Amino acid sequence: MRIAAVLFAVVSVVMGCRLADTDGITPVPQFLAFLPWLVAPTALGLALVLLARWWPGVVWSVVLLGLLAWFIEPYGKSTEPGGAAVASFRVLTSNVEFGQATGALIDAVRREKPDLVFVQECEYTCDAELKRTLGGTYPHRQAVEGGGSAGSVILSRFPLKATDQIPGTMGMPGAVADVRGHAVRLQLAHPMPPLPGQVDVWRRELGALRDFAAEQAGGTTLLAGDFNASQDHAAFRRILDTGLRDAARLAGDDRTPSWPARTAPALGAQIDHVLLSSDFSAETARFLDLADTDHRALLVEIILHGRG
């Protein structure tokens, strides 16, 4: 009974923060990333209290399971745009973990032929290799150079016009793409992860992405990358509340884990996203396993619709 009570208490704290629409403090943000998997300890606790015939514990566990079932449902808008299709293209986002998965990414790009590629943790060697091997196919690029996890790059088949990057610990470049005559605002996302002692930095950098999304409200926008956050994090939901929609959710893959790659898809969290303004629809979303990185890449096929 004591073991069950401890399990229920931990889950209750996390669910209380979810109900209050806050990410709380460590370790709540870390547990929130794996919210669907909290069903397992809650179900174990239910079995224990049934064996012990501790009826208040049974009620406690049933309430927690009901809340978990409610919050596991997808979050955000999923309505389809009403205008006619004007352009169709593919977007790939990948965290290559300090450049280690650069070769695997290049192979995936050559195989899948995306039109836009968002690369996080692309340090100097990765950046040089992408220029050398993919520069002819992707003549347009916007990058923030840096070592370790700081470097990021956007590769494009479409012409790009540079914009200001979003300030952060790691590079978050932006651009305006000319997609067959239509201006699309592109932004790479890579805020700090919610590590113990750095949750405030994580929250602040996700807030900067939210401010960017709010400023672009009503425009044609594509925001992609490693958000280090799932739909169970309040800071990420506030980005969706600006009107952006998650391409994986639109394609029916809102709970497919992207990290950590070693345990996905059996266990993990979806923290890599492609977010779209309301004039996009998503045809497909696929998570690709790449060697030498702790993230799965995300490939989406999207359609831009005319307004009105």
pLDDT of the residue at 80: 87
pLDDT above 80: residue 2? yes
pLDDT for residue 271 is more than 80: yes
Number of structural domains in the chain: 2
290-306: average pLDDT: 98
User: Residue 224: its pLDDT value, please?
Assistant: 98
pLDDT (0 to 100) of residue 82: 87
**Element spanning 234, H or E:** helix 234-240
Residue 204 confidence (pLDDT) above 90: yes
User: What is residue 263's predicted lDDT score, i.e. its pLDDT?
Assistant: 95
Determine the average pLDDT of the residues in 224-253.
97
Is 80 part of a structural domain of the chain? no
pLDDT digits (tens, 9 = 90+) for 88-120: 999 999 999 999 999 999 999 999 999 999 999
| pLDDT attached to residue 274 | 98
222: in domain: yes
Q: Does 13 share its domain with 143?
A: no
Same domain, 155 and 261: yes
pLDDT at 307: 79
Pairing relation of β-strands 280-288 and 182-189? unpaired
DSSP 107-131: HHHHHH--SEEEEES--HHHHHHHH
The arithmetic mean of pLDDT across residues 1-22, rounded, is 94
Average pLDDT over residues 214-221: 96
| 78-101 CB burial, b ≥16 within 10 A, e <16 | eeebeeeeebebbbbbbbbbbbbb
H/E element holding 295? none
Averaged pLDDT, 241-255: 96
Mean pLDDT over all residues of the chain? 96
- Which is nearest to 17 in space by CA: 195, 194, 170, 233? 233
3-class state of residue 267 by DSSP: coil
Determine contact, residues 282/81, Cβ cutoff 8 Å: no
**Predicted local confidence at residue 308, as pLDDT:** 62
What is the Cα gyration radius of the chain? 20
Q: What digits encode the pLDDT tens for the residues 287-296? A: 999 999 999 9
Domain at 215, CATH number? 3.60.10.10
| Per-residue model confidence (pLDDT) at position 79 | 87
- Looking at the DSSP bridge assignments, the partners of residue 144 are 152
Same domain, 288 and 226: yes
Pick from 247, 196, 220, 202: nearest CA to 306: 220
| Domain assignment of residue 138, yes or no | yes
148 and 223 within one domain = yes
Tell me: do 92 and 241 sit in the same domain. yes
Residue 194's pLDDT is what?
Answer: 97
Percent of the chain with pLDDT over 70: 100
pLDDT tens-digit map of 43-55: 999 999 999 999 9
The pLDDT of residue 1 is above 90: no
pLDDT at 101: 98
Q: Is the pLDDT of residue 173 over 80?
A: yes
Q: Tell me: the pLDDT tens digits for 126-145?
A: 999 999 999 999 999 999 99
- Note whether residue 79 is domain-resident: no
The reply to whether 24 and 126 lie within a common domain is no
Tell whether 77 is covered by a domain: no
pLDDT at 234: 98
Q: Is residue 166 part of a domain?
A: yes
For 233, phi then psi, to 5°, come to -95, 130
> Can you tell me the distance from the alpha carbon of 140 to that of 60, in angstroms, rounded to the nearest whole number?
56
Are both 144 and 274 inside the same structural domain? yes
Is 78 inside a domain boundary?
no
- Percent over 90 (pLDDT), the chain: 96
Residues 106 and 142 in one domain: yes
Burial class (CB in 10 A: 0-12, 13-18, 19+), 237: middle
If asked whether residues 157 and 216 sit together in one domain, one would say yes
**Domain boundary at 29, 49, 72, which?**
72
* CB-count exposure of residue 295 (10 Å: 0-12, 13-18, 19+): buried
Question: Do 64 and 177 have their domain in common?
Answer: no
Amino acid sitting at position 51: L
Domain residues for 14? 2-72
- Section 216-222 average pLDDT: 96
Shared-domain flag, residues 296 and 172: yes
In a domain, 29, yes or no: yes
